[in-house]
Structure 1
Amino acid sequence: MKLTEIQIESLYKFTRQHYVEYYDVQVELVDHLANDIEQIWEQQPELSFNDARDKSFKKFGVFGFMNVVESKELQMTKKYFKLVLKFAKEWLSLPKIVLTILLLFGFYQLQQYSFGYQIYLGIFITSTITQFSMLINNTRKLKRRQRQTQKKWLFEHVLNIQGLGNTAIIFIYFFDFPVSSAKEFLAMGDFKRAYSALLITAFLIISYITLVVIPKKAEELLVQTYPEYQIT
């Protein structure tokens, strides 16, 4: 016994009622529920649609769809950071590796001057503020798009909001700036100077990737993930 279009649509409503806001996760869950309901009917054809649906839903446990949503969010967040890593690796090939080496050398030499400390801090602060500014702006854009299409995509959320937010938090908590004053900055030894130059170069490259590269490729990446995204 196959589900009708009305029953399929009611399953979408059912997932939304149980706090599944992302359309792509809804599709996956509705497909799972529909197949399971049809299997339940094969064994118990006397069950009503609602009873078969509830029986299928109980298999998700006391937390319902929550574990599925959290798992998909983790999966998409990992995908985002794999993209960051992929684009970062491109900087290790020609011609970008030349620019990377020049940045490393330039930042290393910059540490001979007291104003170098202000430049380092300025880069960090500017990039972090830009991350949060883009996060706020992208949130507004996504809300407008969602109102127009009536669909919210998980990977779109990760690309435009969650990924930027996570990156900014990582910058704040893990940007281990080697010194706390310009005086200490000038007194660093060779190893610490090299480490500092490597850190600020990596920070700058990752900032460029998250603020420029990925946003430019966002629609392309979304269509690759969701072929139907292009027609929404």
Structure 2
Amino acid sequence: MKLNEQQINQLYLFTRRHFVEWYDLQSELVDHLANSIEDRWKENPKLTFEEALELEFKKFGIFGFMDVVDERRRFLSKKYSRIIWKHYKEFFRLPKIILTVSSMYFLYFLSEKLQDSQYLYLSILAVIGIVFTVESRKIHKAQKLKEKETGKKWFFEQMVDAFDVYPITLLPMQLINLSVTIGEDGWHRGIAIFGAILLVLFALLQYVHWKIVYPKIVQEMGSVYPEYEMSK
């Protein structure tokens, strides 16, 4: 005997009531519960759906789904991390690597010509920060709106957010400030080179993250979870 659509929906509701908030994690649990309930029906067809569900839930112990959710979160974290890194590695190949190194050299060369790497780097950093702050907020706003409309929250979206490189903004800023504090030309030149490398990497990683990786992850998850594709 197989579960019908109404019973499947009841399983989703059951997982939500027991504090499983992400739909992709709910789906993992629902699939497990559905298979286990159907196996019980093979052994004892007289069991009702509610009785079979209660027996299965008791197997999770006093903490309910907590332990298995933590385990599945770790599993999905590794799975989504591999997918995200795959798309990063696909992007960073020739000739893009050559263009990246050339951009770093050009930025350093420009800072030497202008003889004011601090002002140049801070200006570029400000522009990058503004552009990608607007972009990330736009995406997060769309995620929140979709969550409100569908009632579904997705763990993979949280994982993509975790890969955002925006916090490393502080590193080039500290290096720029350090270049002023240390007056020796040799130190200044070294910091200017390192600052150029960090700024180009920061800009490129932000671009790849929100313009390349995120759309590909969304597309890939849409093929895995048709419900996500339908909610777009």
After TM superposition, the score normalised by the length of structure 1 is: 0.74
Q: Output the CA distance in 2 between the equivalents of 1:111 and 1:213.
A: 29
Amino acid at match of 2:165: T
Question: Could you tell me whether the CA contact under 8 Å between 1:8 and 1:34 is conserved in 2?
Answer: yes
Alignment correspondent of 2:166: 168
Q: Larger deviation: 221-230 or 135-144?
A: 221-230
Alignment correspondent of 1:203: 202
- 1:67 equivalenced with 2:70 (yes/no): yes
Amino acid at match of 2:135: M
* 1:25-72 CA distance string (max 9 Å, x none): 222211110111222344455544323223322434425143145325
Alignment of 1:20-31 (within 5 A): 20-31=20-31
User: Any idea what SS the aligned residue of 2:92 has?
Assistant: helix
Q: Output the CA distance in 2 between the equivalents of 1:185 and 1:59.
A: 67
- 1:157 Cα shift? 4.8
Alignment correspondent of 2:140: 139
Alignment correspondent of 1:33: 33
- 1:88 Cα shift? 4.6
- 1:107 equivalenced with 2:107 (yes/no): yes
- 1:53 equivalenced with 2:56 (yes/no): no
Unaligned ranges ≥5, structure 1: none
Question: Could you tell me whether the CA contact under 8 Å between 1:25 and 1:72 is conserved in 2?
Answer: no
Distance 1:221 1:186, change over 3 A: farther
Unaligned ranges ≥5, structure 2: none
Q: Output the CA distance in 2 between the equivalents of 1:175 and 1:41.
A: 62
After TM superposition, the score normalised by the length of structure 2 is: 0.74
* 1:194-225 CA distance string (max 9 Å, x none): 43332222222112212333355464344344
Q: Output the CA distance in 2 between the equivalents of 1:7 and 1:225.
A: 22
Alignment of 1:111-130 (within 5 A): 111-112=111-112, 113-130=114-131
Q: % of aligned pairs identical?
A: 28
Runs (4+) of structure 1 moved beyond 6 Å? none
Question: Could you tell me whether the CA contact under 8 Å between 1:23 and 1:153 is conserved in 2?
Answer: yes
Q: Output the CA distance in 2 between the equivalents of 1:216 and 1:7.
A: 33
